[in-house]
Amino acid sequence: MKLSDRVQKVPPSGIRRFFELAEEKDDVISLGVGEPDFSAPWAARTAAIDSLERGKTSYTANRGRRDLREAIADHVTRYDQQYDPDEEILVTTGASEAVDVAMRAFVDPGDQVAIHEPSYISYVPGVIFAGGEPLSVQTQAENDFKLTYDDLEAAGAADAEVLVLCYPNNPTGATMSRSDLAEVAEFAREHDLTVLADEIYAALTYSGEHTSIATLPGMRERTVVFNGFSKAYAMTGLRLGYALGPSEAIGAMNRIHQYSMLSAPTTAQFAALEALRSCEDEVQEMCKQYNRRRRFVLSRFNEMGLDCFEAKGAFYAFPHCGGDDEAFAEALLQEQDVAVVPGSVFGAGGEGHLRVSYATGMADLREALDRIETFVSG
């Protein structure tokens, strides 16, 4: 069978390869997956069950149920985002679908898409599947992995059509304040870039405040925001996300979505609606627990000499392990049965680091960090 050039250009996920290694062993503590250890709030699960009991098993409107879009429009006002539920919101099958559809809606063959790295692993394949050319923009550990005007300029991002921005960041946990974002916005306006802002970790910001680049002057009209229910509401398996943007952009994304997906999962839309209506306390409680774990993990890494900057968002620590991060992670797994992800999987600037997820219970975290300390001092 002939495979397309596009699919052959994309290697299998480096994270997956690591998990297959981990699965071959018993007793492994995994700090590898970027997935909450909590279950979705009970009220959200009940709403899904209830919808099934009432026989709500049909497609919804392509853009998602109207009541859910209204609830999303209402919810995002907490980030000063104002979007019209009829024209400017698309409910998707996870933020993942929003990423995929956006690449296909905004990228022509040969267009450059600037992606700051280290970053989440789906953007580069998404660009390649859309026929575009990924352009790596390395952020610097000295700047706590924030994207700067100079990083963009040095990488030649002035020639790109699209910029992907992911803060709070997976894998570093870095966040960007309004003043940090101002220089990125300036660059985007100067060079007429479309910005795809993946804000799926917006609710997991431990300083308490998330700023969306879409709210900076002149940015709303050139930005599409991705968000979803996987992280904040511990709903990864329900596969529900959304995109926010100007009506023309959301309309273009919907043109693809209506053919490729028809509508996002109906049962999950009921769960999501209830999550937005009544689960704020559960989100706050999960956030509190992540924050406790974050402080614990950071202090343990720094005590054992694996330097770790103070990540303010998401649920990852990104300690510096020096040298060959793949060899480090592989030896740690073999010798101490702890799975982490080598930083180089996340692109330029990730080498010499490890991504450690603290979406793991405290008892396992404690044991895993003891084992890492034994490994490091051994």
Residue 113 falls in which region: left (phi positive, over 0), alpha (psi -120 to 50) or beta: beta
Measured from the CB atom, the residue of 112 and 230 that comes closer to ligand PMP is 230
Binding mask 106-125 for ligand PMP (x = CB under 6 A): --------------x-----
Residue nearest to ligand PMP (CB): 94
| DSSP for residue 260 | H
Which sign, positive or negative, has the C-alpha torsion 248, 253, 258, 259? Answer: positive
Q: Which is nearer to ligand PMP, 233 or 301 (CB)?
A: 233
Whole-angstrom CA distances from 134 to 200, 345, 373 are: 21, 15, 37
**Rounded Cα–Cα distance for residues 256 and 62 (Å):** 10
Pairing of strands 162-166, 194-198: parallel
Chosen residue from 81, 139, 170, 175 binding ligand PMP by CB under 6 A: 170
Q: What is the DSSP letter of 57?
A: -
At closest approach, how far in Å is the CB of 71 from ligand PMP? 17
Is 94 one of the binding residues for ligand PMP (CB under 6 A)? yes
Strands annotated E in the chain: 29-30, 89-92, 112-117, 133-138, 162-166, 194-198, 223-228, 241-244, 316-317, 338-339, 341-342, 354-357
Nearer to ligand PMP, 95 or 321 (CB): 95
How many CA within 13 A on the CB side of residue 115? Answer: 28
Q: Is 126 in the site for ligand PMP (CB under 6 A)?
A: no
Should residue 95 be labelled a site residue for ligand PMP when binding is judged by CB under 6 A?
A: yes
- The answer to the question of residue 228 lying near ligand PMP (CB under 6 A) is yes
| C-beta of 102 vs 155, nearer to ligand PMP | 102
Region from 9-17, 71-79, 91-99, 157-165 binding ligand PMP, contact rule CB under 6 A: 91-99
Binder of ligand PMP out of 230, 269, 289, 357 (CB under 6 A): 230
Q: Contacts with ligand PMP: how many residues (CB under 6 A)?
A: 13
236 binds ligand PMP (CB under 6 A): yes
Radius of gyration of the chain, Cα coordinates, nearest whole angstrom: 20
Q: How many residues does the chain have?
A: 378
Supply the minimum distance, in Å, between the C-beta of residue 55 and ligand PMP: 27
The amino acid that residue 319 corresponds to is: P
- Rounded CA-CA distance 90/73 in Å is 11
Q: Which is nearer to ligand PMP, 198 or 336 (CB)?
A: 198
- From the list 18, 29, 34, 329, which residue makes contact with ligand PMP (rule: CB under 6 A)? 34
Binding mask 181-210 for ligand PMP (x = CB under 6 A): -----------------x-x----------
- Taking the complex as a whole, the smallest distance from the CB of residue 228 to ligand PMP amounts, in Å, to 4
Tell which positions 137-166 bind ligand PMP, by CB under 6 A.
166
Dist. CA 283–CA 280, nearest whole Å: 5
| Residue 36 touching ligand PMP (CB under 6 A) | no
Using the contact rule CB under 6 A, the part of the chain among 92-100, 209-217, 282-290, 357-365 near ligand PMP is 92-100
Q: Rounded to a whole number, what is the distance in angstroms from the first to the last CA of the chain? A: 50
Integer CA distances (angstroms), 182 to 65, 294, 374, in order = 35, 27, 43
From CA 99, how far away is CA 124, in angstroms rounded?
Answer: 11
Which of residues 224 and 300 has its CB atom nearest to ligand PMP in the complex? Answer: 224
Q: How far is the CB of 357 from ligand PMP (least distance, A)?
A: 10
Interacting residues toward ligand PMP by CB under 6 A: 34, 94-96, 120, 166, 170, 198, 200, 228, 230, 236, 241
